[in-house]
Structure 1
Amino acid sequence: MLEIKPIINTLMRSKAGALLLILQIAITLAIVSNALSIVSNRLDKLTEDTGYDEQGIIAFTVLTYNRNIDRAKQFKEDMLKLKEIDGVIEAMTVSSIPLSSSGGSWTISNHPDELQGKRADSGYIQANHRMVSAFGLTVSEGRDFEAQDETDGSDGQFPSVAIVSRAVANKLFGEGKGLNEFVYSGDNMMKIVGIVETMKSQWPDSKMGDNVVLIPIERSSMYQRVIVKTQPSKRAQIIKMIEPTLLENERQRVIIGVKGLDTAKQQTYQRDTLMIRMLVALIVFLAIITALGIFGLTHFNISKRTKQIGTRRALGARKSAIFRYFLVENTVVTLFGVAVGSVAAMFMGGQLMALYSIPALDGSIVLYTALVIVVMSLLSVYQPAKRAANISPSIATRSI
């Protein structure tokens, strides 16, 4: 028999300690479950597929301060020189580097008058017609760019075709639609000739993180971004060769931030990584404090009830009964704390979702956290309960 009624009566006679522990467990459950939810959400973002060949792409910027050179011609020579490096598959100038938190964005619409049609805020990337393969992307519907699709913009001509991410197509034309439809931005009209299922923008953690438009136009500027597609096994070696190779062609410029696309992504998510580390530290801290609280309260109760325990032992109570008593008492207190904490966790989750647009708290996370706290409480009370069970009846009765 678990002696629930005597346990409840004992707790009611000593409310303060039990109430403090219930409150501590409730607060721990509420905070930890919401922290775990945020950590899980951030980890999903850090590990989700971006669509790009992150391990094979090198990205960097070239700042040219020689105004007397033909930049377009110079960059064509540069790209040819880079392609001569062993392990380089493709090299090209681009208007933006994906996942880098920097680049161009615009609002596109499915109607010439954007006020009358559906609109989508989107990042865009301009490069030559080989950009899809250079980024390691796959066109899931429609076709890739062809050489005749590309323009250089020198005569003001804008491309008439585009490839978009699935998110853009769905937002403008509905689920599963968009291929061969037209999109508009200002005076520019482009036909969607291809759709990429997964493609992250320059700002992967923003509301337009999945919205990207690829445009086959190649331009050059004083502050020019470049990507190099490589064999992943040779990328580290190639990174070291890029700056000397380009400076050999033209010295009046600076090569900035030569790094892998995966590194650019990590830098973009630095705040998320820091947040995860801080929340994990908070979770561990609260778990330790709660475990110590359970241990301390049980130890205090045993010290206070030494005579009572000794009397029970003298009357024939087994060690297992004493041990079980304190396990059950601790479990009752923990379950009260878990019940209160579960309600508090869901309320806190709702407030965080309303104030900070954090995804809704999953009830399964609250359940798992509650189970861990129950197990942790049992482990915390094990040693004090074992000590209580070993109290000798003779030692206890001497204190009478």
Structure 2
Amino acid sequence: MQIQPIVAALRRHRLATLLIAMEIALACAVLCNAFFLVAQRMKMIHTHSGIDERSLATLSVTGFEPSQAADVNARMLAGLQAIPGVQSATLINQVPFGPQAGAAGVTHDPGGNKNRIGVVDFVLGGPGTFKALGLKLVEGRLPQADEYQPAISFVPSDAQVLVTRALAQHAWPGESPLGKDFWCDKFHFRVVGVVDHLARAQPHQYDMAQAEWTVFTPTAPGGSLSGTYLLRARPQDVQRVLRDAKAAVAKIAPDLVLNQEDSKTLGDLRTNYFQTDRIMVGLLLGVVVLMLGVTALGIVGLTSFWVGQRRRTIGVRRALGATRGDILRYFQTENLLIVSVGITLGMLLAYLLNAVLMKFYELPRLPLYYLPVGALALWLLGQLAVLGPALRAAAVPPVVATRSV
């Protein structure tokens, strides 16, 4: 089929052709960026916490002075471990998707002004916390009993720590992190092990690449490590165990205040933390469906209008020997040309829209592979949308077409 007659026909309908092409361009720009945003949100929603979420819950109490921390911890741990179904009760300062309790910048050198590594989350854990979390050690060793040191300010002053694989690859690319030192101002840390995954408490506050920049710091109970307790139970028991633990606080330590907001299962913490992301994904998908629907209706409406206008022309072509397949291919090719022009403009518009989002919302650059995916989706949509009117045009008998005008 020759393209020139189709182009000549489109030139006689410049305004309608331009409007459909611009509608497709807008759809392409929105489609590519919306899918990119959905992919980013879904990746965030499925952040690997690195812990056994189904078996864990946290319980938090307040209303005591730092000098009372040792007594509070002793009473709470003894009382929580006595609850039926509790496999372990240990101390922790923060968990993934809960309140952030320990984030600070670290460097390769002491003093905090040179060779910055970045901002990391310090997860302080008492004896038994590593095992209770269900973390996976991939290199090195676990902290020894005598390496659980009391926290000075917010961390121990000289600690043997475990880092996540993501942080190790960032801080010491291509090297083993074992035995490496780093500092947070005057606080010194030495890496003795690497864990596979351990998410930050609030990964939304950082780039996706930094979502697991976490340091597990063995810490003796007391001081900064008090008031927040990690409960482990069988997955089918964890909700009941947490409910019983909340009720038991009034008996274990009636002088303390239960923090209901932060006392949840890890599953509930994840659900609550990513609720906004799930709503955003739904809205973006709704926008995509609406945009594609409007674009398809525009193509159907314009093609139906052109079929009505060209009934005599179609009849003449049929009388001269054009088959139904020829008529069908004519409209499909015409649509392909219009959609291709719109996609070309839409790709440029997609990058302009992404540049705006990068500037005002700190989003990453739109990967190139989203453009052909969006183009393929719109080409397919265009061919499906034009199919109905094109089939009706191909089905018009030659005699009826020539007598219609």
CA contact (8 A) 1:79 1:91 kept: yes
2:86 maps to what in 1?
Answer: 88
1:215 maps to what in 2?
Answer: 217
Cα displacement (A) at 1:210: 2.0
1:229 maps to what in 2?
Answer: 232
Q: Name the amino acid aligned to 1:360.
A: R
Could you tell me how far apart the structure 2 residues matched to 1:96 and 1:85 are?
22
CA contact (8 A) 1:62 1:222 kept: no
Cα displacement (A) at 1:104: 1.8
Identity of aligned residues (%): 25
2:272 maps to what in 1?
Answer: 267
CA contact (8 A) 1:129 1:145 kept: no
1:288 maps to what in 2?
Answer: 293
Cα displacement (A) at 1:363: 2.3
Task: Identify the range of structure 1 (23-32 vs 329-338) with the bigger mean alpha-carbon deviation.
Answer: 329-338
Partner of 1:190: helix, strand, or coil? strand
Task: Identify the range of structure 1 (139-148 vs 212-221) with the bigger mean alpha-carbon deviation.
Answer: 212-221
Which of 339, 342, 357 lines up with 1:337 in the alignment?
342
Cα displacement (A) at 1:298: 0.3
CA contact (8 A) 1:61 1:223 kept: no
Could you tell me how far apart the structure 1 residues matched to 2:34 and 2:137 are?
38
Deviations 1:281-336 (A, max 9, x none): 11111000000010000011011112222333334433232222212211221122
1:197 maps to what in 2?
Answer: 196
Partner of 2:237: helix, strand, or coil? helix
Structure 1 pair 124/314, CA: closer, same or farther in 2 (3 Å)? same
CA contact (8 A) 1:95 1:126 kept: yes
Could you tell me how far apart the structure 1 residues matched to 2:169 and 2:325 are?
64
Alignment of 1:160-175 (within 5 A): 160-175=159-174
Deviations 1:10-64 (A, max 9, x none): 1111111111111111111111011111211221222132212122211232133
Structure 1 pair 313/191, CA: closer, same or farther in 2 (3 Å)? closer
Deviations 1:102-140 (A, max 9, x none): 222122222222223434311112221322112211222
CA contact (8 A) 1:34 1:345 kept: yes
CA contact (8 A) 1:90 1:134 kept: yes
Cα displacement (A) at 1:384: 0.9
CA contact (8 A) 1:127 1:219 kept: no
Could you tell me how far apart the structure 2 residues matched to 1:48 and 1:254 are?
29
Alignment of 1:177-192 (within 5 A): 177-192=176-191
Could you tell me how far apart the structure 1 residues matched to 2:384 and 2:318 are?
24
CA contact (8 A) 2:335 2:383 kept: yes
1:246 maps to what in 2?
Answer: 249
Gaps of 5+ in 2: none
Number of residue pairs the alignment of both structures matches: 398
Structure 1 pair 118/175, CA: closer, same or farther in 2 (3 Å)? farther
CA contact (8 A) 1:149 1:159 kept: no
Task: Identify the range of structure 1 (329-338 vs 76-85) with the bigger mean alpha-carbon deviation.
Answer: 76-85
Deviations 1:334-389 (A, max 9, x none): 12222222233234334534554323322222112211111111111111111112
Could you tell me how far apart the structure 1 residues matched to 2:194 and 2:322 are?
75
1:111 maps to what in 2?
Answer: 109
Task: Identify the range of structure 1 (332-341 vs 185-194) with the bigger mean alpha-carbon deviation.
Answer: 185-194
CA contact (8 A) 2:339 2:379 kept: yes
Could you tell me the TM-score, scaled by structure 2's length?
0.89
CA contact (8 A) 2:108 2:116 kept: yes
1:123 maps to what in 2?
Answer: 121
Q: Name the amino acid aligned to 2:48.
A: D
CA contact (8 A) 1:101 1:268 kept: no
Cα displacement (A) at 1:246: 2.3
CA contact (8 A) 1:109 1:172 kept: no
Q: Name the amino acid aligned to 2:137.
A: V
CA contact (8 A) 1:52 1:135 kept: yes
1:357 maps to what in 2?
Answer: 362
Cα displacement (A) at 1:101: 4.6
CA contact (8 A) 1:97 1:225 kept: no
1:326 maps to what in 2?
Answer: 331
